[in-house]
Structure 1
């Protein structure tokens, strides 16, 4: 019985390591796309703008973030700053954020934005970046 438990633990560890390697590879590919976007946006003269974080509800107030960059999604919840960091912008909407602005942290960019969302709510990062550069929002 102990051999089976040890073997199962080794298999689980190997699967976890493989998943981690795959995620790291995806992140590296997506980050390269984001970096290319920043260079191309600057080359084309697409001006960055102050990034605001929307509140939790649709149509809610938007909060300062102190970041400058480009919105990628139509709802202004996905953005890239001028240093090539990827953000999913959201704010809780409390008094502190009203006074001081929203603190948002960058996240690893995915190759498919909105993966796992409802049908029609996910999009390839390449397509999203191209759409932003071409102004075909």
Structure 2
């Protein structure tokens, strides 16, 4: 074996380690998503029981310039109306690929896996715990 080529067993170990790390990150993400789904289900029941008004979601193009009607009704979770929870109990990121068809017929929204922190990794002050965002949506009359 030459000095410049790594030991094949080292490559194998590194590959297995990377695969293990990816699997562990995915497992943690799934656990957090399951926790967030449970929080959202509780929120939807409470919001319906309290008759908190819903709105039809408006989606924004990825570039942010255009808006599109959607068929989904629910509650916005951020002031900038970039994410929301539908009356169907699903979590939606309200950004879509713009198109002429979407402009004419409305945009189709696809549910996303909910995070425990909205905007995680964003600039300081732009992230918010899901629990806090749900509480704000449940009690819109409270000052922020």
For normalisation by structure 1, the TM-score amounts to 0.90
Over aligned residue pairs, what C-alpha RMSD do you find?
Answer: 1.7
CA distance in 2, matches of 1:112, 1:74: 15
Residue of 100, 103, 107 corresponding to 2:108:
103
- Max Rg structure: 2
Indicate if the aligned counterparts of 2:72 and 2:109 stay in contact, CA closer than 8 A: no
In the other structure, the counterpart of 1:51 is 57
Residue of 79, 94, 114 corresponding to 1:89:
94
In the other structure, the counterpart of 1:133 is 138
CA distance in 1, matches of 2:89, 2:131: 15
Residue 84 of structure 2 is aligned to residue 79 of structure 1: yes
Change (3 A) 1:6 1:55: closer
Q: Runs ≥4 in structure 1, deviation > 4 angstroms? A: none
The structural deviation recorded for 1:120 is 0.7
Residue 40 of structure 2 is aligned to residue 41 of structure 1: no
Residue 118 of structure 2 is aligned to residue 113 of structure 1: yes
The structural deviation recorded for 1:73 is 1.0
Indicate if the aligned counterparts of 1:91 and 1:97 stay in contact, CA closer than 8 A: no
SS of the aligned residue for 2:68 comes to: strand
For normalisation by structure 2, the TM-score amounts to 0.86
Runs of 5+ in structure 2 lacking a partner?
1-6
In the other structure, the counterpart of 1:16 is 22
Q: C-alpha deviations, 1:84-105, integer Å up to 9, x for none?
A: 1101102444322221111221
